[in-house]
Structure 1
Amino acid sequence: MRRTSLALLILLAACQRPPERGDAGPDGGRASVSGLERAAIEAGAIADASRISPVGLFQRAHEAGRDSLCVIPGQDGQFRFGLEAVFGEEPSCRGHGTARRTGDKLILSFRGGDRCIIVAQYDGDQVALPGVVDMACADLCEGRGSLEGVSFPRVANDAASALRARDRGNTPLCDS
């Protein structure tokens, strides 16, 4: 029922007029929210993702393995994260770095040689990576693995759970 309502709200929001140049979103202009979406948030029908911290553990088990993303508080309003996406016995992607929040986006900046930056969609319940990522991100993956289109549903909303998360080699995904 909730997914159907959400889908209906999204369809209705898509029919709304585009924001005028002078319109500022509720978060100071970083992201505009349609009138219908704002009404749904105020009525409690949907959560206001701009008020939900991304700190926590996001994880999805599937037939080929488990995809995990941990997010913990960092410095200067940023966050630190670690992620692993598994595509069977061999192919996988793994990385860590810093993240910052901008409206309904979570900007993941990976540490390492190439500067891989991924702008993920964040709705409070899930972090979804885009269907196309920068070529610099290929170095994070082994074999035929790719981070394109990987999504991580939330399973916990606290830093302690994120710090307990381990990759498939039993190494901490987010270090303290």
Structure 2
Amino acid sequence: MKGRSYAEILAGALVLLVAGSFLAYAVTNSGRGGFSGPALTLSAKFDRIDGLAPGADVRVAGVKVGSVVDQRIDPQTFLAVLTMRIDASLRMPSDSSAEIASEGLLGGRFVSLVPGGSERILADGAEITITQSAISLESLLGRFIFSMTEGQPSRGEAAPAAPSLGTPAQP
């Protein structure tokens, strides 16, 4: 009986060890873990940041280079202020822009940095002044549906007759 319980404990420990190693591998290779090396802290102000939360990716050309670490409201302007930490080795130009982008219709949101062409480089703690806020898919769909139904006749109302191509329209 004792031999069997030691074998079961050993097998359980082996399973936990293998599961832990898979978890460690997944975290280090998924891009969700923090990047190593020095980081640069940048901020940017947006009208709206729909669906963007701390921990969201910051990307340049689709490659993750950092993450959003904080979000708050500026009490004077009522704009959303994002604080981001990015890899300091990038040396972002001072006229770079930041935009809130989406991974797809149902995907999450991320901050996309678009490098500018300036010779000056953003310093730690600098603010990115050129920003594009998140586009609300719901409001776009609402506008589209409204524009499609606006020109439609009401029920019980006859649709206006289209002029014939062969005869000129009467004034």
TM-score by length of 1: 0.26
Max radius of gyration: which structure?
Answer: 2
* TM-score scaled by length of structure 2: 0.27
- Of Structure 1 and Structure 2, the greater strand share is in 1
